Amino acid sequence: MPILAKRITVEKPDYTSQVMKWLEEKRLYPDENFSASGGAPSIAISDELWDPFCDTLKKARKEAFSYRPPFGSFKTREKLAEGLRKTLNIKIETPQVWQTFGGQHAIFSSMGMILDPGDKIIKLDPDYMAYSPVAEYLSAEVVEFPILMEDKYQIDVDKLRKVLERDKKNKGVAFSSPANPHTKRQEPSIIKELAQVLIELDRVGIQDIAYIHNTRGTQELLYNYCPENSITIGSGSKCYSTCALNLGYAFTGIKELTEDNNAKLSRGLIPIALTQNSPTELFIQLNFGSEAGKRFIEKANRVYEERQRAMMEALNGLPGVEYVDPDSYYYVYPRFSAVKNSVKFAQQLHYKLKISTVPGLAFGPSGINTLRMTTVTETVEAIYANVGKKMGEFLKTYHD
């Protein structure tokens, strides 16, 4: 393959693509399905957030022609730092924060800052699927680290310490908490223990908090215990219902990155491609951490909570299903005793029942018999009709 770069050579199967390819071949369109796959927020953003944004956008014609620094204008970063101080109750200054175009870009820039070719990084199994391809794109190796449903998906920190101690090339761990797909938070004691290990071994923890505002209770942050050994990445897609605006951010206490007049921060961000002014910045400046933002998040969460409860009830009536009670409102991550291959199962659900889900294998090898089911998109009635009834009937005779 003389033309393509090595990173394009896919050695591992991409399970989401496998389902998509199969659907395309069969001319099946998931748009028409009952949607438990995408993780897209479905409550439209409130007028009190959207209207001032549109008004300001109209007035900002001149800015449409301008450029700004690759990690966000100072004004935007100040707004992010202020919003983070308020909403996360943390000590943080503007030079520690950078704006990104969505959580995905935050993942990319954070990994880009710590990984050299040949390095390794731990990814939990199961965890969000974006970490592995980004690390591999950067020519780093991903080390899958199992976490178990039986342990409520908590990290065994002693085991993780041993993996890090064994290999100097292993730079640390990237993980979501509150997590996608299983929604659990790492408990405060685990976060504290992990911070201690990262400090002692001088490694980095990348904590992805994309769901922090759509979660019951509070999430402990690595940043509070090891600011100089952590990068936190976040997104506004879920909480503000702004996937299309690509609203993301990251922050760190790693001194090397935040001092030195931001030179290293800038180098870590692939600066040339990302210098345009954008509506995203305007939205952050107007709404990030605002009272109106808080009101919207609370309102949306009440609807999501109701839908999630319906999903849990519907699943409870199905044969051979178990799951851990969710912390964040976005998903339920059930395991099915009748399923031996979650890709095949997801395909059959599409094909026979017009129900879209994400096969657990997309999140790591342990997802062989699980599905991620989004709970924010469909109404309570649709959830009972599709999951409670149709899927219930289907599972009575299903085996693969």
The H-or-E segment that residue 211 falls in is none
Nearer to ligand PLP, 232 or 391 (CB): 232
- Orientation angle between helical segments 279-287 and 47-59, nearest 10 degrees: 130
Rounded Cα distance between 287 and 292, Å, is: 7
**Closest separation in Å from C-beta 165 to ligand PLP:** 27
Nearer to ligand PLP, 180 or 287 (CB): 180
Q: 34 with 355: CB under 8 angstroms?
A: yes
Rounded Cα distance between 20 and 28, Å, is: 9
**Closest separation in Å from C-beta 290 to ligand PLP:** 18
**Closest separation in Å from C-beta 166 to ligand PLP:** 27
**Closest separation in Å from C-beta 210 to ligand PLP:** 4
Nearer to ligand PLP, 210 or 318 (CB): 210
Nearer to ligand PLP, 176 or 215 (CB): 176
**Closest separation in Å from C-beta 259 to ligand PLP:** 27
**Residue 47: count of CB within 10 angstroms of its CB:** 11
**Closest separation in Å from C-beta 180 to ligand PLP:** 4
Rounded Cα distance between 118 and 139, Å, is: 6
**Residue 183: count of CB within 10 angstroms of its CB:** 28
Q: What are the Cα distances from residue 395, in Å, to 16, 79, 317, 369, 392? A: 22, 50, 11, 13, 5
Nearer to ligand PLP, 111 or 318 (CB): 111
Q: Which residue ranges make up the site for ligand PLP (CB under 6 A)?
A: 39, 102-104, 128, 176, 180, 208, 210, 235, 237, 243, 248
**Closest separation in Å from C-beta 106 to ligand PLP:** 7
356: which strand partners? 35
**Closest separation in Å from C-beta 158 to ligand PLP:** 25
**Closest separation in Å from C-beta 327 to ligand PLP:** 13
My answer on whether omega of the bond before 178 falls inside 30° of 0, hence cis, is yes
Nearer to ligand PLP, 175 or 345 (CB): 175
Rounded Cα distance between 295 and 168, Å, is: 46
**Closest separation in Å from C-beta 168 to ligand PLP:** 28
Nearer to ligand PLP, 234 or 388 (CB): 234
Token digits of residue 119: 């390095």
Nearer to ligand PLP, 109 or 170 (CB): 109
End-to-end CA distance of the chain: 36
**Closest separation in Å from C-beta 358 to ligand PLP:** 10
Nearer to ligand PLP, 37 or 237 (CB): 237
Characterize 265-288 residue by residue with b for buried, 16 or more Cβ atoms within 10 angstroms of its Cβ, and e for exposed.
bbebbeeeebeebbbbbbbbbbbb
Nearer to ligand PLP, 242 or 262 (CB): 242
Rounded Cα distance between 329 and 396, Å, is: 28
State the residue number with the nearest CB to ligand PLP.
103
Rounded Cα distance between 43 and 45, Å, is: 6
Beta strands in the chain (DSSP E): 34-35, 97-101, 120-125, 141-146, 170-176, 204-208, 230-235, 247-252, 321-322, 331-332, 335-336, 355-356, 358-359, 371-374
Nearer to ligand PLP, 39 or 334 (CB): 39
**Residue 71: count of CB within 10 angstroms of its CB:** 23
